[in-house]
Structures are given as structure tokens and as C-alpha cells.
Amino acid sequence: MSDTVLTVTALSQYLKQKFERDPYLRRVTVRGEVSNYRERKNTHQYFSLKDENAKISVVLFKGKYMKLPFQMETGMSVIVTGELTLYPPNGQYQMIIDTIEPDGIGALYLAYEQLKEKLTKEGLFAQPKKALPKYPERIAVVTSPSGAVIHDIYTTIKRRYPYITLDLFPAVVQGDKSAPSLIRQMNRIKASQQYDVVIIGRGGGSIEDLWGFNDEQLIRSLVDYPIPIISSVGHETDTTLIDFISDQRAATPTAAAEMAVPNRIDLLQNIKEKEQRISRSLNNQMQHKAHHLKQLANRPVWTTPKTLFRDATLKVDQYISKVERYYERQLTSKRRVYRQLGQRFQLTHPALQMEKQRSKADQLIKRNEAVYFNKVQKARYSLNHLLTQLELLSPIQLMKKGYTLVRDENNQLVTSVKQLKEGDPLAIRFQDGKVHATIESVEQIHLNEENKD
């Protein structure tokens, strides 16, 4: 038995140093199947690699995990490179991963397929494609200003359709800065609202070179893009996600330019063919119209026009006779009616009616005169009777018997000596005049004493 007794910690540290000092364990490449994987947000990833007979724990630090171009999944076969070490707290050895990629296919290709499947499920690639305008006026090209793409596009468009305005929006088309640059230029074009078509592209290259055109943010920024997009990225065999979101895909920049504009030679030929068709059509129509006109000129209406009016003249005469007979009957009937009305009118003539009314009026006047005469006579008799009675009651008649009317200086009728005093002036009225006097004395006489006298 060994005399040296180690603690568990010391043994674990010794083994850890053995792992770290062994040159064969400093960098190991292992193929295995991902097991016990559950994504942890914003931290390190812990899972296992296994095959049919063994399993090993692995650690993928946060910095390297965030740079993975693909989505890791349980059951995925991968090839990892890293360092073997021992973790003293539990005495378990593990592998610190430095690189990881899918087994059999590249990591970028797997990331491409995963993102394509994701966006397809969301329906981004199933949206209706916009038709390219037949005769665009302004085209925007998003590509590198120094590559062959812009040269090929410019040469092709100016050769086919030189009447158009072609504007370059220079962008980075390779590397980490390519996607933000492409997004920025596409947004500029959309904001300007001046372009009919956009061509976006670059030349051929590896999947790494073309990776900017697979950027998820770039693809999402082109959803519902208002301007038709033609993509021309890589060679004909290269396919990027921008090809699926674009309205048209061109195998080459030259093909993209040919899609974007018509060929003026074809247009001129088409115009010439249409002119010929129009000319032939006009000639045919003229011939047809001339033949038709000749047929019309040979018709009886033009050769012997009098025959056209013969039957019509007879019909007009018949209609005139019918109309005359009709109005003759109407006139006879109206005359008979007017004659009967004239006889009725004679019986009800206003002069005759006025004569009858005048006779009635005379009779009424005579009756009224008799009535009014009797009434006047009665009124006259009554008036004379009343005048007689009035005259009998008149003060003048009493004055004729020696009575007088006496008034004081205020023209008040004096009916008693009590109203007078000595010296008062008086006006005395007789039947035939008036005298003025002054009272010399006043004597009162009682009625009883007067009767005694």
C-alpha cells in the first residue's frame, strides 16, 4: 500500500493537470450526436455528445454560441474541435468546444436551409409577385460600384433600351457589413418613390461570399416592397434567400437587365409589323367599303328613284281622302250640335231674361211704393200728433197766459225768492222778449198765507 494519502481535491487537481498537459488532449476533433440539448438564452450551452457506446459532456461558451450560423438541435450529427479538461467539483471530464459544424454538410448551408424553412412556414415567400412594367423610365441598381455587375447591366440596358435613366446605389456585397448596407440602400430607393424597377445583385462566389443576401433582416425588410425587384446574385447554380423574396430571379446581370427593359429592336419590329397589319386592314376595309358602296349605287333607290315614291304617293292620296271624309263627318256633326245649342241659347237669351226680370222689378217697385207711401202717411200723422202735444207742453204757450221765466246773473233759473236778495240783477223772459231788472226788496210768502188771502 502507498504511504501517500491524497485528498479528493488534490487528486482532481492532479488529473486536471494531466489533461491540460497532454498534447493529444489539447486539441481534439470528435464526431458525435448532440444529446440533452436545451437552448439557454444569453449564456453558455451545456449538452452531451454520444455515439452507440459512449457519451461525453461538452461546453459551448456564450461568445462562440452567439456566432453560430446555424440552429443546433438534439439528434444532429456534428463534428466539434476543442480541449479536454476535468471539472474538479464533480470529478467529471468534459470538452470545451472551440468550433462546431454539422457533420456531412457545411454550417452555412444548414443555416441557410433552416432559415429558408422558417421563412417559408411564415408565408414570406408565398406572397404574390409583382409584374415588371413593360416600359420603365427609371431603374435602380444595388450592387458594388467596382464589380462587373454594374458594367454588364449598364451595357445591356443602354444597348437594348437607351431611353431609360439608370441609377447606381453602391452597396457592400460581401462580409459582415453587406446586409446592413443592402438594407440601407433598398430603404433609400423605397423612400424616394422615383423608380419603376430595382435590380439587386453581385457576381459569383462561395456561400460565405454570398451570405449577406441570406440575411434574415434583409429578407424581412423586403416583404411588401412597393417596387418590383429583380435578383441577380451569384451564378445560375447559386441560390440565395433574396431570390425567393424577389419578384423575378435572373441567372446573370445581363439576364436581369434584359428582364428589366424591352429590346428597342424588337419594339421597332413590333411597331413595323403593327403598321403593316393596320395598313392591310385599312386596305381591306377600303376595298370592302368600295364594293359595298358600288352595290348601294346599283340599287333602284339611286337608279330609278321615282319608283320609290309612286306607291308612297298613292298611299298619301288615300290617307288625304280618308282624312277629308273624317273631318267632313266631324264638321257635319259639330254643326248639328251647334244648331241645337243655338236654339237652346235663344230660349235662354240674356235679353229675354232681362225683360222678364225688368217686369218683375217694376211690379216689386210698385208694391214697395205703395208700402212706403202708407208708412210715410202713418209717420206723418204720428209726427203731427206729437207736434201738437209738444206745442201744448211748450213754455211759450204758458207765457202767452202771462207766465215768465226768471234767471239770475248766473243764468240760473230762479224758482224761489230764497235764491234772491236785494240788489241782484235779473233777466225776465216773456213770450215775445226779455227784460233786465234789479231787485229792490224781497218778500217771502208762505203758501198757507197766500191761500188765505
Which CATH superfamily groups domain 125-262? Hypothetical protein af1403; domain 2 (3.40.50.10550)
**Domain ranges within the chain, ordered by starting residue:** 8-104, 125-262, 399-452
- What value does the mean pLDDT take over residues 422-447? 83
Helix (H) or strand (E) holding 308: helix 306-347
- What fold is seen in the domain 8-104? OB fold (Dihydrolipoamide Acetyltransferase, E2P) (2.40.50)
pLDDT for 447: 60
Alpha helices in 249-263 (DSSP H): 253-260
pLDDT-derived band at 406 (thresholds 50, 70, 90) equals: confident
Is residue 450's pLDDT more than 70? no
Q: Which residues pair with 166 in a beta bridge?
A: 139
Residues 250 and 238 sit within 8 Å (Cβ to Cβ):
no
**Mean pLDDT across the chain:** 84
Instruction: At 208, list the grid cell.
Output: 460565405
Quick: pLDDT tens for 114-144: 888 899 999 998 889 999 999 999 999 999 9
**Cβ-Cβ contacts under 8 Å for 30 (sequence gap 6 or more):** 49, 56, 79, 80, 81, 82, 95
Is residue 225's pLDDT more than 90? yes
Q: Which residues pair with 438 in a beta bridge?
A: 425
pLDDT for 308: 63
Quick: pLDDT tens for 280-317: 888 888 888 888 888 777 776 666 666 666 667 777 77
Quick: pLDDT tens for 367-386: 887 887 888 888 888 887 78
Instruction: At 404, list the grid cell.
Output: 215768465
Residues 421 and 442 sit within 8 Å (Cβ to Cβ):
yes
**Cβ-Cβ contacts under 8 Å for 439 (sequence gap 6 or more):** 420, 421, 422, 423, 424, 426
Stated length of the chain:
453
Neighbours of 91 (CB within 10 A): 13
360 or 59: which leads in pLDDT = 59
440 or 3: which leads in pLDDT = 440
Please list, residue by residue across 381-403, b when 16 or more beta carbons sit within 10 angstroms of its beta carbon and e when fewer do: eeeeeeeeeeeeeeeeeeeeeee
Helix (H) or strand (E) holding 312: helix 306-347
Helix (H) or strand (E) holding 338: helix 306-347
**Cβ-Cβ contacts under 8 Å for 405 (sequence gap 6 or more):** 395, 399, 413, 428, 429
DSSP-derived secondary structure for 194-227: --SEEEEEE----TTTTGGGG-HHHHHHTTT-SS
pLDDT for 422: 84
pLDDT for 294: 80
pLDDT-derived band at 198 (thresholds 50, 70, 90) equals: very high
How would you class 41 by CB atoms within 10 Å of its CB: exposed for 0-12, middle for 13-18, buried for 19 or more?
A: exposed
